[in-house]
Structure 1
Amino acid sequence: MTTTAEDTATLSTRQRAKLRSRLVDDHKATELLISRLVSDLDSFQHSRQDAPVDDEHDPEGPTLAFERSQSTAILGQTRIHLSQIESALEHIDGGTYGVCVTCHKPIPVARLEVRPYSTQCVGCASKVR
């Protein structure tokens, strides 16, 4: 895939506003998901309070432990995602959005449309792996 001048051009005001709107919507949805996950974890905790703690012999024990573990992992990943969104919004407000934090070149618009919270251009992001 070749990069065109348009792909690496600085974001227009309209593009920035559109991406900001998507980030704000994603922020709201992510906060809601975090709230639900925290509620689920609280439910797991309350459901285990009255039950024996012996997961090995409790037929529901492994299932509840797995669900709690899975929800905890998803909650952690979701909080990281929320932090990425908040960082992107700060960069928009600070005027540095769409600039690679590594090479300081513009991040292609197409990349930002797919991952509006990206902090690196494709080249720099691929070097990390």
Structure 2
Amino acid sequence: MTDTTTHSTRLAEERQTTADRLEGLRREFGQVVEATVDSNSDDEHDPEGATIAYERSQVAALIDQAEQHLVDIDAALDRLAEGTYGKCVVCGREIPEERLEARPTARTCVEHAGKG
């Protein structure tokens, strides 16, 4: 049986950590964009242009990942509220506690990972 209180607390903490991280990443992205305002916009010929474009794309990818993680956390919190947290969405069996410890947003058991 899944200890919903422990998982609820952990998910809430992880949500706050992720939201804080996302805020920092958005701030960093803004700084990268701001730094390019006064620079040469010709990334192909500006030696720093490629580095700035790379950094901008890296931060954007991290923002996307953090945003998706928030969606996953919110979905897990919804499952907790509905009483379905810790049950595989494919087969309905209990997700092993070890899997939930490693991946608290897991929607499936290991057997059905990637299918839910």
- Output the TM-score relative to the length of structure 1: 0.84
Task: Count residues in correspondence.
Answer: 115
Structure 2 CA distance, aligned partners of 1:75 and 1:37?
6
2:43 is aligned to: 55
**Correspondent of 2:95 among 107, 114, 118:** 107
Structure 2 CA distance, aligned partners of 1:122 and 1:115?
11
**Correspondent of 1:90 among 78, 86, 106:** 78
What do the CA deviations read for 1:47-81 (whole angstroms, capped 9, x no partner)? 11111201122221111111001111111111111
SS at 2:46 equivalent: coil
Q: Structure 1: which amino acid aligns with 2:20?
A: L
Considering only aligned residues, what root-mean-square deviation do their CA atoms show, in Å?
Answer: 1.2
Q: Which runs of 5+ in 2 are unaligned?
A: none
Q: Which runs of 5+ in 1 are unaligned?
A: 1-9
Summarize the alignment of residues 8-87 of structure 1 with structure 2, pairs less than 5 Å apart: 10-11=1-2, 15-87=3-75
Q: Structure 2: which amino acid aligns with 1:59?
A: P
Structure 2 CA distance, aligned partners of 1:38 and 1:56?
25
Structure 2 CA distance, aligned partners of 1:21 and 1:121?
21
User: Which segments of structure 1 move beyond 3 Å, counting only runs of 4 or more?
Assistant: none
Structure 1 CA distance, aligned partners of 2:48 and 2:77?
43
Structure 1 CA distance, aligned partners of 2:29 and 2:92?
41
Shift of the alpha carbon at 1:16?
1.4
Greater RCO structure (CA 8 Å; 6+ sep): 1
